[in-house]
A and B are shown apart, each in its own frame.
Chain A
Amino acid sequence: MSAFVDARTLPSGTVLTPDIAIVGGGPAGISLALALANTKLDILLLESGGANFDPVVQALYSGTQSGDDYAALEAGRLRFLGGGTNHWGGWSRPLDAIDFEKRDWVPHSGWPFARTALEPYYPRAQALIEAGPWIYDKGDSIASAKAPMLPLGDGGLYTSWFQFSKTRDGVLPTPFGTRYQGDLKVAANIKPLLNANVTAIRLAPDAKRVDRLDVATLNGNRFTVKPRQVVLAAGGIENARLLLASNDVMKTGVGNQNDLVGRFFGDNPVPRDVATLVLFGGKRAPYYGNNLNMGNGAVMRAVFTPTAAFARSKHVMGSLTTMEHPVELDETGKAATVTTATALGVDAANASAYSVGCGMELMPDPDRRLTLTGDKDALGLPRLKLHMRVTDADFAKYRQTLSELGRQLLASGAGMLRLNCSKRADWLKNMDWGHHHLGTVRMHDDPKQGVVDADGKVHAIGNLFVAGSAVFPTYGASNPTLNLIALTLKLADHLKKVAA
C-alpha cells in the first residue's frame, strides 16, 4: 500500500527512479496508473495539484490568446487530482468509425489505426467512467419501449445515443480523483505524488531518450525523477507546453523537430440555439430533451448524427445535434408551421417548438495553435498563447447537416426546422465550448505529420509517450473522455510489453 506523498515534504535534491513516470493525475494519468497496478512495474504518478482545488496552483495554467473568442486558458480545466473529471458533464459516446479514417475532404485526417483497435478497450473504459452497460448501439430499442422515437425520413442523419457517467447525489459524474484515490493507495507498485510540477523534460545529449524530469513545488523544493519510461498525461494544453518548453537539447522543443507540437489545437464548439425544431404533433419523448434513466444502470440521451455515407457525399464534419428547451414561435413561425403542415396533410393544432443545440467538430487547422510566450509562471515555466480560429467553412458544413435534418423531419411528416444562424456573428453570438483540448501532440505514423506514433511514443525519442486527447489527429463530435481512456488502456498494454 502506498499513501499519497506530498512532494513539498520531499527533501530538495531527491532523485526518484521509477520504471514509469506518469505526468498528470487526470483521467488519462489515473486510468494508466490503475491499468498498471499490481504489475512488476514501479509507477510514479506526478500530480501538479493536491486533492482539492487551489487557486494558486490553478493560476499556473493562465496564458494569453488571440483570434476568435475562446475560454481563458485557466478555465475549462482543473489542476488537481482528477483533472477535468472534477467538473465534467459525464457525456460519453464512442467515436464513430469514420472519425478514424483518412478523408479526402478533411486535410490532415486519418488515425494510424481503425476504431477496431480501440474496441477491446472500450468496455474497461466504460467501467472506469461508470456509465453502466455498453448499450450505445441499443438505444433505439430500449428507448422506443419507453416512448416513441421521433421518426426521421430516409436521409443523412440518424438517432444515436449518449450515455452518462454515474452521478452522485444528482450532481457530479465520476470524479476520478476522489473515486479512485483508494485504488491508487492500495496498489503496492503505484506511488502518487501530489503538488509535484514537472518543469522540464531533460533529454540525453543524443536526443534519443529522456534522461530525467525536473520537478518543482510551489514551496521551493526541486527534485529529479529518472524514469525508464515517461508518459505525459497532463492534458491537451499542458502536454504541448512541457514539450515546447523543454528546449535545451532540441532547440525547438522535445518532439518538435517538424514544428507540429502545439499546432492543430482542437475543441468541440457548442453553439447554442442553432435552430428551432417544430414537432407537428407536439409531444416528444423525454430522452430527447433530458438525460433519462433507462432503469438498467444506464442514463441515455438521444442526439442526431450524420451517417458516414452523408459525411462522405456532402463532405461534412462530425456533429451531434440535440433538442433543448421549449421555445415560442413568432408569427412567421406559426404561419410556416400551419402552412407546411396543412400542405402535407398533417395536423399541427398542438405543435410545439424546441431550441436546438449541438457539438461540432472543427476541420484540423495547423494555425490554431499554442506557442510559448516570454511570460513565465511561478515555477519559471513559459506561459502559453493560444491562437484560436473557427472558419466560416466549419459553420457552413454544420449548417448543411442541419438542413438535412430539416428535410428528414419534413419527409417523415413529424416536423420542420428553422436555421437560426446565417452569418458568422449568428454562430458566435451564443457560442460555448466543450472545453475538450485536443490535437496538439497529434498521432501519425509519419514523423513529418505527427508528433507521436500509433503507440503514443514521441517520434525519435525512445522512452517518451503521450496519453490523452492531445494525440487525437481528428476527433469527431463525441466527448473525448471515454475515448481517451480507451486509448490510454491501449497504451498501458503497450507499456507492459516495452517496460517489462
Chain B
Amino acid sequence: MKRRAVLAGLAAAGAAMAAGLYRFIEIFVKHYPATPYDDVLRQLADREQATLLGASVQGAPEAQVLAARLRTAMPDGLAAAARADIAAGRLTEVNGWLLPATVVLLAALAAKT
C-alpha cells in the first residue's frame, strides 16, 4: 500500500512537471504557423526581428522563389553563407544597412510568411 502511494505520487509529480514545461514553452518559446519553408526559416535565431527587417526589403521575389534560392545558397548553414557573401562583397542595402545578401533574402522570406 505504501509503495503504491509513492508510485502514484511520483506519477502525479511527473505529470505536473510535464504540464509546467508545456506551459513554459507555450508562454516563453515563440511559435510560428507551419510553412512550406520551415526548413529554411529555422536558420533564423530571431524570426520576429528578421520579419521586421524583411518588411523593408524592396523588390524581393515570391516566397517559393526565395526559398529555392536560399536552399541553394546555404548548403552549410546561414553563418557560412553570410561569411561567404561578405568575403565576396555580396552585400545588399536595406534601408541603408549593408547586409550579407543571404541574410536579406532570409529576412525577406520571413516577412512573406
A-B contacts, CB under 8 A, total = 83
* A479–B47 alpha-carbon span in the complex (Å): 47
Question: Do A333 and B46 touch across chains, with their CB atoms under 8 A apart?
Answer: no
Whether the pair B50, A403 counts as a contact (CB closer than 8 A) is no
Segment at the B interface, from A140-148, A299-307, A340-348: A340-348
**Beta-carbon contact of B53 and A406 below 8 Å:** no
Out of A339, A407, A422, name the residue touching B86 (CB < 8 Å). A407
For A416-427 the 0/1 string (1 means CB < 8 A from B) is 111110100000
The smallest beta-carbon distance between A361 and chain B, in angstroms, is 23
Segment of B12-20, B65-73, B77-85 in the binding face: B77-85
Which of A332, A343, A422 lies in contact with B78, CB distance below 8 A?
A: A343
The CA of A399 and the CA of B61, in the complex, are separated in Å by: 27
Contact bitstring A245-266, B, C-beta under 8 A = 1, else 0 = 0000000000000000000000
A window 386-419: CB within 8 A of B:
403, 406-407, 410-411, 416-419
Q: Is the CB of B44 within 8 A of A339?
A: yes
Taking CB as reference atom, which chain A residue is nearest B51? A335
Residue of A nearest to B94 (CB): A336
Residues of B within 8 A of A332 (CB): 52-53, 56, 94-95, 97
Answer whether residue B91 sits at the interface, using C-beta atoms and an 8 A cutoff. yes
Known contacts A342-B46, A344-B79; is A333 also within 8 Å of B86 by CB? Answer: no
A334 at the interface (CB under 8 A from B): yes
Measured CA separation A333–B49 after assembly (Å): 10
Max chain A Cβ within 10 angstroms of own Cβ: one of B94, B99, B102: B99
B contact residues around A342 at 8 Å (CB):
44-46
Chain B, range 60-113, C-beta contacts under 8 Å to A = 78-79, 82-83, 86-87, 89, 91, 93-100, 102-103, 106-107
Q: A335-B49, A335-B53, A339-B49 are contacts. A153–B86 as well, Cβ < 8 Å?
A: yes
Among B20-47, those with CB < 8 Å from A are 43-46
CB pair B103–A417 under 8 Å, yes or no, is no
Q: Enumerate chain A residues within 8 angstroms of B94, measured Cβ to Cβ.
A: 332, 336
CB neighbours of A338 from chain B (8 A): 46, 49
Q: Which residues of A contact B82 (CB under 8 A)?
A: 340, 343-344
A336-360 toward B: CB 8 Å interface, digit per residue (1/0)? Answer: 1011101111000000000000000
State whether the Cβ of A104 lies closer than 8 Å to any Cβ in chain B. no
Q: Quick one: which of B45, B50, B89 contacts A407, CB cutoff 8 A?
A: B89
Is A331 among interface residues, defined by CB-CB distance under 8 A?
yes
Partner among B45, B49, B83, B93 whose Cβ is within 8 Å of the Cβ of A334? B49
Q: How far is the CB of A344 from chain B (nearest CB, A)?
A: 6
Is the CB–CB distance between A340 and B86 below 8 Å? no
Best-buried of A276, A340, A344, A416 by chain B (most CB within 10 Å) = A340
Find A340's partner among B87, B89, B93, B99 (CB 8 Å cutoff). Answer: B99
**How distant is B104 from chain A, measured CB to nearest CB, in Å?**
9
Question: Which residues of chain B are near A419, meaning CB under 8 Å?
Answer: 93, 96, 98
Q: Quick check: A345 and B79 within 8 Å, CB to CB?
A: yes
Please name all residues of chain A whose beta carbon is closer than 8 Å to the beta carbon of B87 when the two chains form the complex: 411
Q: Among the listed A153, A335, A422, which residue makes an inter-chain contact with B50, where contact means beta carbons less than 8 Å apart?
A: A335
Q: Quick check: A420 and B96 within 8 Å, CB to CB?
A: yes
CB of B57 to closest CB in A, whole Å? 10
A276, A333, A343, A419 pick with most chain B CB within 10 angstroms: A343
Tell me the complex Cα distance, A335–B55, Å.
10
Do residues B100 and A335 form an inter-chain contact, with CB atoms below 8 A? no
What residue of chain B has the Cβ atom nearest to residue A411's Cβ?
Answer: B86
The residue from A276, A336, A420, A422 contacting B99, defined by CB atoms under 8 A apart? A336
Q: Is the CB of B83 within 8 A of A344?
A: yes
Name the contact of A339 in the complex, choosing from B83, B89, B91, B103 (C-beta under 8 A).
B103
Q: Please measure, in the bound complex, the distance between the C-alpha atom of A334 and the C-alpha atom of B86, giving whole angstroms.
A: 20
Known contacts A344-B82, A345-B79, A403-B91; A339/B53 CB under 8 A? yes
Q: Across the interface, which residues of B come within 8 angstroms of A410, CB to CB?
A: 86, 91, 98-100
Known contacts A407-B89, A411-B86, A420-B96; is A339 also within 8 Å of B56 by CB? Answer: no
Q: Give the chain A neighbours of B95 by CB distance below 8 A.
A: 332, 336, 418
Which chain B residue has the least Cβ–Cβ distance from A331? B52
Distance A418 CA – B96 CA, assembled complex (angstroms): 5
Chain B residue numbers with a CB within 8 Å of A276 are 96
Kindly list chain A residues whose C-beta atoms are within 8 Å of the C-beta of B44. 339, 342-343
- Contact between chains at A406 and B98 (CB < 8 Å): yes
Closest chain A residue, CB of each to CB of B81: A343
In whole Å, how far is A433's beta carbon from the nearest beta carbon of chain B? 24
For A344, the chain B residues whose CB sits under 8 A away are 79, 82-83
Complex: how many Å from CA A214 to CA B29? 85
Given A339-B44, A339-B53, A418-B97, 18 extra CB contacts under 8 A = A332-B94, A334-B49, A335-B50, A335-B52, A336-B95, A338-B49, A339-B107, A342-B45, A342-B46, A343-B43, A343-B100, A344-B79, A344-B83, A345-B79, A403-B91, A406-B91, A406-B98, A407-B98
The contact sample of 18 A-B pairs, CB cut-off 8 A, is: A153-B86, A332-B52, A332-B53, A332-B94, A332-B97, A335-B49, A338-B46, A339-B46, A340-B99, A340-B103, A342-B44, A343-B43, A343-B82, A410-B98, A416-B97, A418-B96, A418-B97, A419-B93
Q: Which 3 pairs between the two chains have the least Cβ-Cβ distance? A: A406-B98, A342-B45, A335-B52
Residues on B facing A (Cβ under 8 Å): 43-46, 49-50, 52-53, 56, 78-79, 82-83, 86-87, 89, 91, 93-100, 102-103, 106-107
